[in-house]
Amino acid sequence: MTPLKRFFNLLKLDRRDVSQIFFYAIFAGLISLSLPLGIQAITNLIQSGRVSASWVALIILVVFGVILVGILSLMQLRITENLQQKIFVRSSFDFAARLPKIKINQLYNSYPPELANRFFDTLTIQKGTSKLLIDFSAAILQIVFGIILLSLYHPYFIVFGILLFGFLYFIFKFSYQAGLETSLKESKFKYKVASWLQEIARNNYSFKNELNYDYSLQKNNNLVADYLNYREKHFNVIKSQFSQLIVFKVIITASLLLIGGFLVLSQEMNIGQFVAAEIIILLVINSSEKIIFGLETFYDVLTSIEKIGQVTDLELEDENVSDIDYCYTNISIETENLCFKFPDSDTEILKSISLKIEQGEKIVIEGENGSGKTTLIRILSGLLQKTSGSFFINDDTFKKINLKQYRSQIGSIIHSESPFEGTLLENITFNDKTIKSEDLKWAIDGVQLTSFVKSLPKGLDTRIFPEGRQLSSSNAQKLLLARSIIHKPKILFYEDPTDMMDEKVANEIIDFITSDKFNWTIIVSSKNPYWRTKCNRRIIMQNGAIQLDSKNN
């Protein structure tokens, strides 16, 4: 979809507001261009040397027209404010609803926080769309009405209108593509600069070293240089457009003054009509300037819409492929010749994986780095989609299962997961009001987080920073463990869940998690050998295949 089509689709969502803005613009344009007629009449009365009630009435009408135009502009401002608020709300919920549901393979070679930064383009769309709707609509209508009015004075002015529209078409036709492309490239490097600054902030301790600090500045310099390069190219497009306008303005102004003067001298126009015509001509030329100046805003809006569109176009998970409401009491998982490879790779990460997991089994998956154990866990948990082979849940093909319902039975910890900005309670329960206080206490006690919570003045209401920055790595893992078991799920998928803890504490928590009191299935990958002693099944991965699958008696 082209950026221009995206923009029109955006306007369609609020067609009523857009229609009102254009209605007020038409009304205001008609009033604005009736003012020169009033001035013409006043000038004719002054020329006659008479002060009459008509003269006073005309002055009052002109002043009233100015006031009315101001009121209409205020009404447009109110509508565009409503439109800006709608754009912001719609965009924020679009991002919030989509980001967690984007297919993992769509995020391959992407950095999700960088994609989330695209939301800031919403601010450009807000302001830019408002400006375009008000200024462009008013300018275009003033040009159209002005040329119609001028043509009533003399047919010569029709030529002026044809030249003006031809000029505007010429500028848009031959510079639109270059302006849009340079704007997109400029935006690309703008985000690269922002992304690098985030990396510096995220790794600020590493960049305190003088050598590393110099590198950070040098890389920033290179990115900024690329940004300025495309910024300059974009400016040259705008400069070229405005230079053409200046030349056109000089030629047209001189020509129209000569034509107007000739028509007055030849008595085909009176002095009042001449003054009115020149006022209209100035309004039309100023409106043309507004359109040319507004093209930069137009490019910015299209670029922002395209950047956001690159996020909203990402394919989402299909959660509701089945209308069957499964009531899971036990969950068995089975795979047959399951394979997986990343989108841009010909190498299979998993090769012909066939296994069956029954409810209540406790499985540890081992293997060297790159053996495929993490990928297998993420496929079994529904985070990744298999490339080929079969995947069954309770003897049903995985594709038929409602993914949303399946995930409601899962507790998990993956490598990239961390606490989010919010209170400890929110991080554990996500403000789920159905969680009972005794279940909350059970989960906190079970992962040995109780003493830490009691040491905090605000307890569970203590607010933590993004990524749990003020928490120790051990307490951060305990919090994630509490989160994973709070709903007492049927299956637990863990990637190194206790590896940041002291051995004694880790082993005690492993004892709790693997206790026979709980019938949940555990599928864990960990370097901690204690998991092996507490699990009743061991799977060893090598080069993407299962080398050993053994059960403990």
Question: Does one domain contain both 353 and 291?
Answer: no
Question: Does one domain contain both 483 and 381?
Answer: yes
Domain end residue (candidates: 312, 347, 367): 312
- Give a yes or no: residue 322 inside a domain: no
Output the DSSP codes for 95-111. Answer: HHHHGGGB-GGGGTT--
Q: What's the CA gap between 439 and 454, in Å, rounded?
A: 17
| Full domain range(s) for residue 533 | 333-551
Give the per-residue pLDDT at 507: 94
Domain end residue (candidates: 312, 343, 371): 312
Question: Does one domain contain both 308 and 400?
Answer: no
Query: pTM for the whole thing?
Result: 0.77
Question: Does one domain contain both 460 and 490?
Answer: yes
Domain end residue (candidates: 312, 343, 362): 312
Question: Does one domain contain both 158 and 248?
Answer: yes
Give the per-residue pLDDT at 32: 65
Question: Does one domain contain both 299 and 338?
Answer: no
Token pair in block for residue 494: 């863990």
Q: Hey, how many other C-beta atoms are within 10 angstroms of the C-beta on 47? A: 11
Do the Cβ atoms of 377 and 495 come closer than 8 Å? yes
Burial of 311 (0-12, 13-18, 19+ CB in 10 A): buried
Question: Does one domain contain both 229 and 375?
Answer: no
Question: Does one domain contain both 306 and 341?
Answer: no
pLDDT tens per residue across all 553 residues of the chain: 788 888 888 888 888 888 888 787 777 766 666 666 566 566 666 666 555 566 666 667 667 767 777 787 788 888 888 889 999 999 999 999 888 888 887 887 778 888 888 898 998 999 888 888 888 777 777 777 777 777 777 777 777 777 777 877 887 778 888 888 999 999 989 888 988 898 888 888 888 888 888 899 999 999 999 999 999 999 998 888 888 878 877 877 777 777 777 777 787 777 766 777 777 777 777 777 788 878 888 889 999 999 898 888 888 887 555 555 555 678 889 999 999 988 777 888 899 999 999 999 999 999 998 899 999 999 999 888 888 998 888 877 766 667 788 888 999 998 878 899 999 999 999 999 999 999 999 999 999 999 999 999 999 999 998 888 888 999 999 999 999 999 999 999 999 999 889 999 999 999 999 999 999 999 999 999 999 999 999 999 999 999 988 887 5
Q: Domains in the chain: how many in total? A: 2
Give the angle subtended at the CA of 251 by the CAs of 248 and 254, to the nearest 5°: 140
Nearest to 180 by CA among 293, 296, 290, 292: 296
Nearest to 284 by CA among 29, 3, 22: 29
- Give a yes or no: residue 325 inside a domain: no
Question: Does one domain contain both 304 and 418?
Answer: no
- Give a yes or no: residue 365 inside a domain: yes
Question: Does one domain contain both 344 and 373?
Answer: yes
- Give a yes or no: residue 401 inside a domain: yes
Give the per-residue pLDDT at 436: 92
Do the Cβ atoms of 477 and 467 come closer than 8 Å? no
Give the per-residue pLDDT at 553: 55
- Give a yes or no: residue 319 inside a domain: no
The CA distances from residue 7 to 92, 171, 280, in Å, are 17, 20, 32
Question: Does one domain contain both 446 and 482?
Answer: yes
- Give a yes or no: residue 58 inside a domain: yes
Task: For residue 43, give the CATH number of its domain.
Answer: 1.20.1560.10
SS3 content of the chain, % helix, strand, coil (to 5): 65, 10, 25
Give the per-residue pLDDT at 267: 76
Q: What's the CA gap between 532 and 283, in Å, rounded?
A: 82
CA atoms in the 13 A half-sphere facing the CB of 146:
28
Nearest to 365 by CA among 106, 542, 153, 114: 542
Q: What is the CA radius of gyration of the chain?
A: 34
- Give a yes or no: residue 337 inside a domain: yes
- Give a yes or no: residue 241 inside a domain: yes
Token pair in block for residue 16: 């009523």
Q: What's the CA gap between 496 and 369, in Å, rounded?
A: 13
Q: What's the CA gap between 256 and 277, in Å, rounded?
A: 9
Question: Does one domain contain both 308 and 338?
Answer: no
Task: For residue 354, give the CATH number of its domain.
Answer: 3.40.50.300
